[in-house]
Structure 1
Amino acid sequence: MKRSIFFVYLVFLVVSNLSAQNWDVNTVHQINSWDGKFIRNYNKVISRSEPYVAVGVPVAMAVAAWIRHDKDLLKDAVYVGTSVAGAFVVTYGMKYLVDRERPYDKYPDRIHPYSRESSPSFPSGHTATAFALATSLSVKYPKWYVIAPSALWACSVGVSRMNEGVHYPSDVLAGAAIGAGCAVLNIYVNRWLNKWLFGD
């Protein structure tokens, strides 16, 4: 875990160097400027859908498993749920460790806040949990009709956070890496968890 946090922080430092060359700021400024009615409404809905989808999917899986008495589905629900929870814990820990200012606070003349957040900017928690959900679902159900919509939704969440003006591209990229990484790492954690919970 310490190595993972160090790696993500190293990525942040490298991307921060790019940010000094205005890549980060110019990119978020461009995406924040997408102002068509459909694009703005789509991004608003996608951004706000993230907590409900990220929590709702594993909960729905667990409820369905309980109703059907389906042990395998319950294991999948635990894996997906703990992947999302792990990404949430890592990102919110890192937010306060790095303490990066939101783009709309640092560049009020260039970035318009279509929503506001109380936590620091780096990394994107919405993107991390979205990618944790998408990756864990794709691992458990490796079918195109699961992978394609999951990936589209997770990527849309990342873009929507920039369109809303609340994250830099580097926040989103780091969030995506953390979310996907937590889901992959959790494959091994869940082997131990399944033994403890289910005796397998």
Structure 2
Amino acid sequence: MKRILLFSIISILVFECSAQNWDINTLKRINNVDNSFIKGYSKGISNTEPYLAIGIPLLMGSYSLITDDKKLLEDAIYVGSSVAEAVIISTTMKELVDRERPYSRYPDLITNRSVESSSSFPSAHTATAFSLATSLSIRYPKWYVIAPSYLWACSVGFSRMNIGVHYPSDVFAGAVIGTGCAVINVYINKYLQGIIYPKGVTKTIDY
């Protein structure tokens, strides 16, 4: 029994060390991509995240009010609430986990091209980007919506590593959180619609 317990502990420690090594080694390779175009692209894409994540649902909502388009308003609420949920969850997790930024923990290995005030895990930029991309793709399942949405979201995730502010595990967790919020919100919206609209009343949301 003692041998089994000792083996289990050693296996967990080895796995954690391997995972940590993979995390920092992968980040180092991405961060060391020193092409001037890539660096500029990463900085630019990373900066677009808050403007698009907030701006798109706001524009959808504003245009729906101007045109009295109830369907578009419901889409805007769904997209906006999905993004908001991703922000809340990722921000809360940052406070709970309190992971040190890679450029602070490994200053000799990682070059930071941006200084962040919050902790590292998970990537809130990636969470909101994937929440926006997934919610838009669910509501408008056309290739010309899905392809650019996910290209942008993946670019945001890559950029956060290239500028040295997130580990790959931070980005992966952010992508899972953002995608999960958008998917779960489909069912939350259906549930709320079931409460708001009694049976026999036509619902405008159709997922």
TM-score by length of 2: 0.85
> Could you say which residue in structure 2 is the equivalent of 1:46?
45
> Could you say which residue in structure 2 is the equivalent of 1:64?
63
Q: Return closer, same or farther for 1:112/1:195 CA change in 2, 3 Å cut-off.
A: same
Q: Is the 8 A contact 1:128 1:179 kept in 2?
A: yes
User: Residues 22-171 of structure 1: matches in 2 within 5 Å?
Assistant: 22-171=21-170
Aligned partners of 1:18, 1:192: CA distance in 2, in Å? 43
Give 2:30's aligned amino acid. Answer: I
Aligned partners of 1:148, 1:28: CA distance in 2, in Å? 25
> Could you say which residue in structure 2 is the equivalent of 1:178?
177
Output one character per residue of 1:18-76: Cα deviation in whole Å (capped at 9) or x when no partner. 433x1100111111111111111100000000000000000010011011100000000
Q: CA RMSD in A?
A: 1.8
Equivalent pairs: percent with the same residue?
60
> Could you say which residue in structure 2 is the equivalent of 1:9?
none
Q: Return closer, same or farther for 1:58/1:18 CA change in 2, 3 Å cut-off.
A: farther
Aligned partners of 2:192, 2:164: CA distance in 1, in Å? 39
Give 1:95's aligned amino acid. Answer: K
How many residues align? The count is 186
> Computing the radius of gyration over CA atoms, which structure comes out larger, 1 or 2?
2
Deviation at 1:17, TM superposition (A): 4.9
SS in 2 for 1:81: helix
> Could you say which residue in structure 1 is the equivalent of 2:19?
19
Q: Return closer, same or farther for 1:16/1:161 CA change in 2, 3 Å cut-off.
A: farther
Deviation at 1:198, TM superposition (A): 7.8
Q: Is the 8 A contact 1:100 1:120 kept in 2?
A: yes
Aligned partners of 1:164, 1:120: CA distance in 2, in Å? 15
Output one character per residue of 1:72-124: Cα deviation in whole Å (capped at 9) or x when no partner. 00000000000000000000000111111000000000001100111110000
Aligned partners of 1:81, 1:17: CA distance in 2, in Å? 39
Q: Is the 8 A contact 1:132 1:183 kept in 2?
A: yes
Q: Is the 8 A contact 1:75 1:194 kept in 2?
A: no
Deviation at 1:193, TM superposition (A): 3.8
